[in-house]
Structure 1
Amino acid sequence: MQLIFSYLPIFVLIGLMTKRNSMPSSQALPLSALFTYLIALVVFGRDPNAVHASVLAGLLVAWTPLLIIAGAIFLFRTMEATGSILTIRHWLNSISENAIAQLMIVGWAFQFLIEGASGFGTPAALAAPVLVGLGFPALRVAILCLVLDTVPVTFGAVGAPTWFGFSALDLSSAELSQVGLTSAIINAIVAVAVVFSGLYFVVQPKALIQNAGFILLSILSCVLPYVVIARFSYEFPALLGGFIGLVGTIVLARLGVGLSSEPIALHEAQAEAAGAGEAPVKVSAAALVKASFPLWGAVLLLIITRVPQLGIKPLLLLREPAWSLELGSLGVVSVSPSLVVSLQGIFGTPQSWSHSLLYVPSIIPFVVISLLTLLIFRSRSLKVVAGQTIEQMRNPTLALLGALVFVNLMMMGDDSAVSRIGNNLAEVTGENWQYVAVFLGALGSFFAGSATISNLTFGGIQDSIAVGLSLDRTTILALQSVGAALGNMVCINNIVAVASVLALGNSEGYILKRTVIALLISCVVASVAAGLASYLAALWLA
């Protein structure tokens, strides 16, 4: 009975969001959270104090993605107000008017680079508005960006999902290296399925076949350096692979390598971008540098604050309290010199919460870069941009508050609903677990909204299953890591984020129904590729 009720909240949530007259996430997620809350108290008989602590922790954790989304919307609206989007569109058209070339430059290579620097759903929040500015239909763009922002996630945010996600396991340096390299090889193989399935949601199949040469070369320009770097480092495969791939894809597009001269047919009529129908506009280098400042400035600031060797990251993560205050049974609130705000001992339980105000990508880089952009362009649009941002944040706030309470309750305790589901899947599949492990990793990201949290949560379960079934533990952990990365495309947080940035309204269920198709295809490819990847990684590391 408890196992049935462990699965039930997932079915309720998916049912509410994907039924014919789907319920908006701002209603479906809070309702699902309420249903899970009642199950925790009535069915599982959990301590009410612990349940309420989980609810409060979820409400507080929700402000991390909310502030990221607000910062991304603020930056996008700033780019609109200053005309940056229009200039970038003209420049991309001067490189190539081929729609697939533009989709691969921005949706694939640029997102790859941003993921390597930041994670947190930042890539789609930056890339999607640029593609919409180029005239692509917003809903299709949202699906594309979610699907394509997966392969680099294994080493996103300077490698955190790998080196931190598996930090709780007793892995030797050699074993962790093999996990990282095997993950990279699997991802490189899966990248073909990921990119073609993502493009399929925007472009007609005929166009994919005609431009397949360019697409494959663009994929290789990112994943080849990504795999090579993974042989020596957990931190920089996505960051450096994305940079090399972005340069390579731009060069390939400018030269027209592998691109068809025939017009690209989209599944949906291309929207009228600002300035559409005008004669081609030549963009000077100075104008491009100025217009693209919101993008390259954000990337540069992310790199400066993320790469530990530069010394800024530790300063932004100082956690020693500079000030603290006891709030009775609510807990102890404290603030560090680098504005890390935390609440410890919520309702007298081990539950706690913290938010790194200067490290989470919100104030830095989005707000800082937006204000600098308004200053550079001498724009007086601050009040308008701020008002648009606040208006656009209303529904996402309700959705994400509900989502994080739902997640916290599903992951509550050592015998959590999520753990029960994982163990049940292992019992059902037995020795065939190696074909299912990737799906558990994806399920973790669907819940937690983070590949790192998925690895932290399910890494131990995957490892114990591998040992119990005498499977190769590094291969199973690599599948966990790949699944966690692929789960990025169905993560509720990311879906709400990109839908909010593009002001898509009640579209989250529509997006989820399509991204889950790409997820299933990619997971099957990953499962099949795992054996080959494990063999190649072992051979290379020998």
Structure 2
Amino acid sequence: MYRQELAPVAGSLLVSALLAAIPLVALFLLLGVLRMRAWIASLISLAIAAVIAIAAWGMPVGQTADAALLGAAFGFFPILWIVINAIWLYNMTVSTGHFDVLRRSFSRISGDQRMQAVIIAFCFGALMEALAGFGTPVAITSVMLIALGFKPIKAASVALVANTAPVAFGALAVPITTLSQVSGLTVQQLGSMVGRQTPLLSVVVPLVLVFMVDGRRGVRQGWLPALACGLVFGLTQWLTSNFVSVPLADIVASLVSALAVVLVLRLRPIERIDTEPTTTESTGTAESTVDGKMDVFRAYAPYLVIIVVFCVAQLPPILKVLNAAGGSFGWPGLEVANSAGKPLSLVQFKFNWLSAAGTLMLLSGILSIPLLAIKIGESVRAYGRTLRQLATAIVTVMAVLGLAYVMNASGQTTTLGTQMASAGAAFAVLSPVLGWLGVAVTGSDTSSNSLFGALQVAAAHKAGLNPLLMAAANSSGGVLGKMISPQNLAIAAAAVGLAGKEGDLFRKVFGWSLLLLAIMCLIVVLQSTPVLSWMIP
């Protein structure tokens, strides 16, 4: 069994942490500075992490390879399994023309592209995050924005930034339940605390989206509906997570905030402005095309099916049956213990193939075939087109997760986290950064919570900080790393036809990621002091 070391390089934790950071720095430099294709940058960074694991941490070559394979397998299932089936369903709506109907329906709510960004990328994206997560909202909302006249690069960047505040409660609060398992805190405690952090972020994000679409003019003219959306979303997310149900927080918040935007626009319409020149039908003739009631129903039907399927699957008796299929098993050849000699749970591969969100998304697609009136042969061809469309994204996601698992299994990630946790009281500032870093690497708030949740609690006890606050900060800070994760960048780029341009997307959203992270760090620091400590349940 391979046993991790915290400070394998010259017995120095700092030097070891600096060495462990090299694969991450290389990944971001290759993407953001050298503008390298994401799949190539990911493979190079994986190779660097593997060399460091073998040469500096002394991890056997075979186990290093096994860790990379486990990460790649996790990248495909459940993450890519969700995305592939979600994009397949979308592609079927495109091939049948029902997506055009959906687009026209959204454009009638507001023909203004700034409000479309808020309604689709933030509200509708939050609903998709609540049900499926793992990149699905970015893929679907970005192509919806393109259909409404957005340029691909702007559509993808808006979708990425919008996919922030809902992430902590995504996929029916899987990140929170995972954090509970590793931290020893209850789901309700963590959900309540996160529900007192991310709602504050929600107030800002719709305003940021309006600014991204139309600059200062957009904020000046569209601040009221954008602010109403953020306030209502945040308030509903707080109320639901604290007093109703943690898993339902995003579902309720997304629906209520969308309704709030529609009501504000009805009471105080804003002048329609197309911020992107376009030759598509979406900006010129959407209002002149009359769609029948059945066409509109069919356009919305796949998303109604998704909601029903995912909600029914969460009913305890049904969930028990679904979970009975599949199970967990130790990855062959990979036996790893932490520095204290305890075996690591990360070597377990969970293959719950029937209850997985990707399988439920596949079922939703199958059930949608008759509703869309699409032939079986065309639906199969649409699946083939989806696989070709996501080819480079598949390689990227599997390589990035391989990188994450090599760093996790070898001990590089733990060394980085332990070095940051040694900051004492200043750890209140670094706690959200640690979560941000975890999501930036793995692309998943769930994975980041699994990695650093226990570390956050241990560091909090050592520094005299509230363990609940620090654990929640890992998840709340992590959501802001989602937009710069190579996994999400690859999915967004593939969805909008910009495969190979992930570096351009990275530069578009990196500044926003840092700005919003700074806001979250400020929130957590104030909550660790008497100024906002009353917010801790």
Fold shared by both chains (TM-score > 0.5): yes
Tell me the matched-pair count: 508
Q: How does 1:101-112 map to 2 (within 5 A)?
A: 101-112=115-126
C-alpha distance 226-274 of structure 1, shift in aligned 2 (>3 A): closer
Show the counterpart of 2:136. 122
Show the counterpart of 2:339. none
Show the counterpart of 1:335. none
Confirm or deny that 1:134 pairs with 2:148.
yes
C-alpha distance 204-179 of structure 1, shift in aligned 2 (>3 A): same
Gaps of 5+ in 2: 1-14, 337-346
Confirm or deny that 1:8 pairs with 2:22.
yes
C-alpha distance 447-83 of structure 1, shift in aligned 2 (>3 A): same
C-alpha distance 417-270 of structure 1, shift in aligned 2 (>3 A): farther
1:236 to 231, 243, 248: 248
Q: Which amino acid counterpart does residue 253 of structure 2 have in structure 1?
A: G
Query: CA offsets per residue over residues 307-365 of structure 1, 9 Å max, x none?
Result: 344x32222222xxxxxxxxxxxxxxxxxxx3x37553412636332333233333422
Q: Which amino acid counterpart does residue 355 of structure 2 have in structure 1?
A: Y
Deviation at 1:201, TM superposition (A): 2.8
- Identify which range, 268-277 or 87-96, moves more after superposition: 268-277
Show the counterpart of 1:316. 322
Q: How does 1:177-216 map to 2 (within 5 A)?
A: 177-216=188-227
The answer to whether the 8 A contact 1:194-1:518 is kept is: no
The answer to whether the 8 A contact 1:462-1:477 is kept is: yes
C-alpha distance 151-77 of structure 1, shift in aligned 2 (>3 A): same
Q: How does 1:86-485 map to 2 (within 5 A)?
A: 86-171=100-185, 173=186, 177-232=188-243, 233-253=245-265, 255-257=266-268, 259-261=269-271, 263-264=272-273, 266=275, 268-270=276-278, 272-273=280-281, 276-277=284-285, 280-305=288-313, 307-309=314-316, 311-318=317-324, 338=325, 340=326, 343-347=329-333, 349=335, 351-365=347-361, 367-380=362-375, 381-413=378-410, 416-427=411-422, 429-485=423-479
The answer to whether the 8 A contact 2:440-2:484 is kept is: yes
Query: CA offsets per residue over residues 457-488 of structure 1, 9 Å max, x none?
Result: 11121112211111222222222120122222
Query: CA offsets per residue over residues 76-134 of structure 1, 9 Å max, x none?
Result: 21111111111112112222212222221111111222222232222222322222221
Query: CA offsets per residue over residues 263-296 of structure 1, 9 Å max, x none?
Result: 4363x53462468446522344433211111222
Using the alignment, how far apart are the partners of 2:209 and 2:109 within structure 1? 22
Show the counterpart of 1:326. none
C-alpha distance 312-490 of structure 1, shift in aligned 2 (>3 A): farther
Show the counterpart of 2:49. 36
Deviation at 1:200, TM superposition (A): 2.9
Deviation at 1:448, TM superposition (A): 2.2
Using the alignment, how far apart are the partners of 2:261 and 2:531 within structure 1? 27
- Identify which range, 505-514 or 437-446, moves more after superposition: 505-514
- Identify which range, 371-380 or 507-516, moves more after superposition: 371-380
Using the alignment, how far apart are the partners of 1:354 and 1:170 within structure 2? 21
Deviation at 1:221, TM superposition (A): 2.1
Deviation at 1:151, TM superposition (A): 0.8
Q: Which amino acid counterpart does residue 454 of structure 2 have in structure 1?
A: G
The answer to whether the 8 A contact 2:195-2:237 is kept is: yes
Q: TM-score, normalised by structure 2?
A: 0.88
Identity %: 20
Gaps of 5+ in 1: 319-337
The answer to whether the 8 A contact 1:183-1:481 is kept is: yes
Q: TM-score, normalised by structure 1?
A: 0.87
- Root-mean-square deviation (CA, aligned residues, Å) is 2.5
Show the counterpart of 1:56. 69
The answer to whether the 8 A contact 1:88-1:288 is kept is: yes
Show the counterpart of 1:327. none
Query: CA offsets per residue over residues 213-257 of structure 1, 9 Å max, x none?
Result: 11001112211111112222322221222222233333333x153
C-alpha distance 15-450 of structure 1, shift in aligned 2 (>3 A): same
The answer to whether the 8 A contact 1:203-1:265 is kept is: no
Query: CA offsets per residue over residues 149-185 of structure 1, 9 Å max, x none?
Result: 11122222222222331322233x5xx6454333222
Using the alignment, how far apart are the partners of 2:70 and 2:98 within structure 1? 39
Using the alignment, how far apart are the partners of 1:91 and 1:129 within structure 2? 15
Moved over 6 A (4+): 534-538
Confirm or deny that 1:84 pairs with 2:84.
no
Deviation at 1:532, TM superposition (A): 5.2
Deviation at 1:495, TM superposition (A): 1.8
Show the counterpart of 1:530. 524
The answer to whether the 8 A contact 1:163-1:234 is kept is: no
- Identify which range, 242-251 or 269-278, moves more after superposition: 269-278
C-alpha distance 101-424 of structure 1, shift in aligned 2 (>3 A): same
Query: CA offsets per residue over residues 408-444 of structure 1, 9 Å max, x none?
Result: 111114xx111211222233x4322212211111111
The answer to whether the 8 A contact 1:68-1:361 is kept is: yes
Using the alignment, how far apart are the partners of 2:22 and 2:534 within structure 1? 44
